[in-house]
A and B are shown apart, each in its own frame.
Chain A
């Protein structure tokens, strides 16, 4: 079974500041992948960043980076230099069946 937990229903960040969104997961798979997706209001889900669990190096994609702690089954997303367009729901997803967490609503203050 796979479970994904996002413990922060809402987060707020000042424009240009940094924010970290938390995610923990549980899976019985030995080799798996982790993802962060963004869902703007009334718009489609899009991929932000992905991490291969067998790689120790944390993935980075421009202003977005992850802190992957495999032993702790933790996969947090850091957004640097936050922009107004980053405001959205963020979902962590894991595993072969692409199981999603409950999401974190990110608000960006100008």
Chain B
């Protein structure tokens, strides 16, 4: 297992377009987290899954953001009608449970022009 994988690593999109990011967690991990991180700031919690169940989504930044984790394996984060303020690093992490180490991917850097 090569760890948490995120794709793409970089995405440049025009304002108003939709984008989708993918996260492949470590295979035996049942928890998966999504964060947004801007330069010099801490990761901002967006949502998380326990297997395929999305346990918290009220912190998604707006109704333009949505996430899925079909079959409890990989997850996708979609941003519709992107805005310049969406430009950030989007991080994914996975863990066995809430008390164990979360392993982070390298992130997807989104630039909205």
Contact = CB atoms under 8 A, between A and B. Distances in A.
Interface in A69-106: 89, 91, 95-103, 105
A104 B3 CA distance: 26
Nearest to A4: B42
Given A101-B42, A102-B41, A47 B98 contact: no
A77 B56 CA distance: 29
Contacts of B95: 98
Interface string B77-99: 00000000000000101010011
B42 A100 contact: yes
B28 interface: no
A61 B41 CA distance: 26
Range, interface on chain B = 20 to 34
Contacts of B42: 4, 6, 91, 100-103
Interface string A37-71: 00000001111001010000000000000000000
Contacts of A44: 104-107
A100 B106 contact: no
Contacts of A50: 99, 101
Interface residues of A, number: 23
A45 B91 contact: yes
A17 to B, nearest CB: 25
B74 interface: no
Given A45-B43, A105-B40, 12 more contacts: A44-B106, A45-B91, A50-B99, A97-B48, A98-B93, A98-B95, A99-B45, A100-B35, A100-B44, A101-B42, A102-B42, A103-B41
Interface of A: 4, 6, 32-33, 35, 44-47, 50, 52, 89, 91, 95-103, 105
